[in-house]
Amino acid sequence: MEQQQNPRLDPRGRKVKILATTGPATANPDVLRNLFLAGADAFRVNMSHGEHEVHAQTIANIRALEREFRRPIAILADLQGPKLRVGKFADGRATIAHGASFTFDRSTEPGNAARVELPHAEIFNVIEEGQRLLVNDGKIRLRVKSISADAIVCKAEVGGVISDRKGVNVPDTEIPIPALTDKDRRDLAFAMEQGADWIGLSFVQRPDDLAEARKLMIGADGKPRGALCAKIEKPQAIHRLHEIIDLADGIMVARGDLGVELNPEEVPPLQKKIVNATRLTGKPVIVATQMLESMIESPAPTRAEVSDVANAVYDGADAVMLSAETAAGDWPEEAVLMMANIAKQVEQDESYLPRVRMLDTPPDATTADALAHACMTIADTVKINAITVFTSSGSSARRVARERPAVPVMVLTPSDEVGRRVALLWGTHPVITRDIGSFEEMIAKGKRMALRHGFGGSGSRLAVMAGVPFGQSGATNLVHVVSVQGDELKNYES
């Protein structure tokens, strides 16, 4: 059924999307609703924490918001991935002195200040002298001095307190472990059953890591379900970035672990490289982790955090993400509102669009790409309120969004799945509506939906992009500029 008029369906007033992480702070449906009203366009369900029953209720609450506001909302189920951890300590923790020797071994005996179990045979098989082992998000840094079949002897370049089951990063070599653990397979099956729109694949190192997830995302009918977002958080992924982008449906710049395994000053240029490489393909790219970190406890961010978010928006990222700020923070609604306000302020800057378009995204030699580029040119040349795209697969929406047009992109699709998936694309406003059967119906529906969703009034104009014959995927072959007349507005309002 077509969406009915609702005064709360007005466009967000910005093009970059906000992805908010759910958690204990959003367990109350009213809080989740307030995050949506504050500006959240999509929600991340972190499978590293919480039980399936809790996540199922969260997803149900998000779908209830969809029904209330009649707007597609993307859900990204983020898999934990193969986290490497040390064993346990006799006293629960120990202190490694700066410059001291410390050994990782295979003994299951509780650890102390000189040694601890490392229950990952894969590391022993590939680690080399001179390489680094980082513990507790890089707070402890150790350099490998010698290796045997059962022990890795290190020197602590930076010591500190180490405790039970702390995470270990191995930044200088590729670890031959699968991207999916048994827990991830269970979580992925659950996410597919719940109808998650995106799957976040953690700790991707190589293109092959995406293959198993793809297989598990095939439905009983043999068709793929959901879209796959590769999280770039390992240095090894950078070496094969373009191959990973080609195989993924979207990319997340997961700066948390990336910032642990690389020097801090290396992350900003890599962020820009990943954003640009993904934007060239038209696939959505998300910038994530620690964007407004201080708002976990404070109602206001630091100036540096505001600049960090602003830079991601200036870079043309499709979405920016909040993690603990909304999952477990004291000010989740304020964090979303702050991120929305930063994005709006940046996008009002007269230099914003020229900066976003500094990346040349030449169209491929296809009719659909040429028309998407033409839509951007039309929006630059004549005054239009929006570009209306009819699509059954979402491909046309990605092509138009890749051009970063000056006006919003209203995406009309009969598919809930497509509408939710494109909700992460820059500048898009997805609308679920019945399919069209003729040129006249296309024009009439384009005008009607523009009026209904706040993209037009009397005298406004739209660029409408679609394909003939209608309802056939991959047949985009026309762009038509239409005007909304006063009598049409009167008829609509009556």
Digit-coded pLDDT (tens) for 429-455: 999 998 888 888 888 898 989 888 888
CATH 2.40.33.10 domain span(s) along the chain: 93-169
Instruction: Enter the CATH code of domain 14-81+178-351.
Output: 3.20.20.60
Q: Which of 160-169, 242-251, 452-461 has the lowest mean pLDDT?
A: 452-461
Of 3, 5, 1, 2, the closest CA to residue 454 belongs to 5
pLDDT band at 191 (very low <50, low <70, confident <90, very high): very high
pLDDT for 458 equals: 76
Q: What is the DSSP letter of 105?
A: E
pLDDT for 487 equals: 56
How far apart (Å, rounded) are the C-alpha atoms in residues 101 and 93? 17
Can you read off the two tokens belonging to residue 146? 């010698």
pLDDT band at 267 (very low <50, low <70, confident <90, very high): very high
pLDDT for 486 equals: 56
Instruction: Name the phi and psi angles at 286, rounded to 5.
Output: -110, 130
Q: Which fold has domain 93-169?
A: M1 Pyruvate Kinase; Domain 3 (2.40.33)
CATH 3.20.20.60 domain span(s) along the chain: 14-81+178-351
H helices of 142-294, in order, are 182-193, 209-216, 235-239, 241-247, 255-261, 267-279
* Residue range 372-381: mean pLDDT, rounded: 96
* Residue range 224-245: mean pLDDT, rounded: 96
Instruction: Name the phi and psi angles at 74, rounded to 5.
Output: -80, 140
How far apart (Å, rounded) are the C-alpha atoms in residues 394 and 411? 8
pLDDT for 488 equals: 55
The secondary structure of 37-59 as a DSSP string is: HHT--EEEEETTSS-HHHHHHHH
* Residue range 280-309: mean pLDDT, rounded: 97
Give the residues across from 356 on adjacent strands.
Answer: none
Instruction: Enter the CATH code of domain 367-493.
Output: 3.40.1380.20
Q: What is the pLDDT of residues 404-417, one digit of tens each?
A: 999 999 999 999 99
* Half-sphere exposure for 311 (CA within 13 Å, toward CB): 13
Query: When comparing pLDDT for 204 and 6, which is higher?
Result: 204
Q: Are 416 and 358 in contact (CB under 8 A)?
A: no
Q: What is the pLDDT of residues 295-339, one digit of tens each?
A: 999 999 999 999 999 999 999 999 999 999 999 999 999 999 999
Of 402, 403, 488, the closest CA to residue 450 belongs to 488
Res. 494: pLDDT tops 50: no
* Residue range 86-113: mean pLDDT, rounded: 97
pLDDT band at 471 (very low <50, low <70, confident <90, very high): low
* β 151-158/101-105 pair status: antiparallel
pLDDT for 1 equals: 33
How far apart (Å, rounded) are the C-alpha atoms in residues 175 and 205? 8
Mean pLDDT (the chain, rounded): 93
Of 406, 139, 367, 173, the closest CA to residue 259 belongs to 139
Q: What is the pLDDT of residues 38-78, one digit of tens each?
A: 999 999 999 999 999 999 999 999 999 999 999 999 999 99
Q: What is the sign of the dihedral through the CA atoms of 64, 67, 69 and 75?
A: positive
Res. 92: pLDDT tops 80: yes
The edge-to-edge listing of strands for the beta sheet with 409-413 is 428-432, 409-413, 386-390, 461-467, 476-483
Q: How far apart are the first and last CA of the chain?
A: 20
* 361: exposed, middle or buried (Cβ count in 10 Å: 0-12, 13-18, 19+): buried
Rounded to 10 deg, the angle between the 182-193 and 52-69 helix axes is: 30
How far apart (Å, rounded) are the C-alpha atoms in residues 101 and 478? 69
Q: 367: Cβ–Cβ under 8 A, 6 or more apart, which residues?
A: 476, 477
Active site amino acids: 44, 85, 231, 289
pLDDT for 56 equals: 98
pLDDT for 435 equals: 83
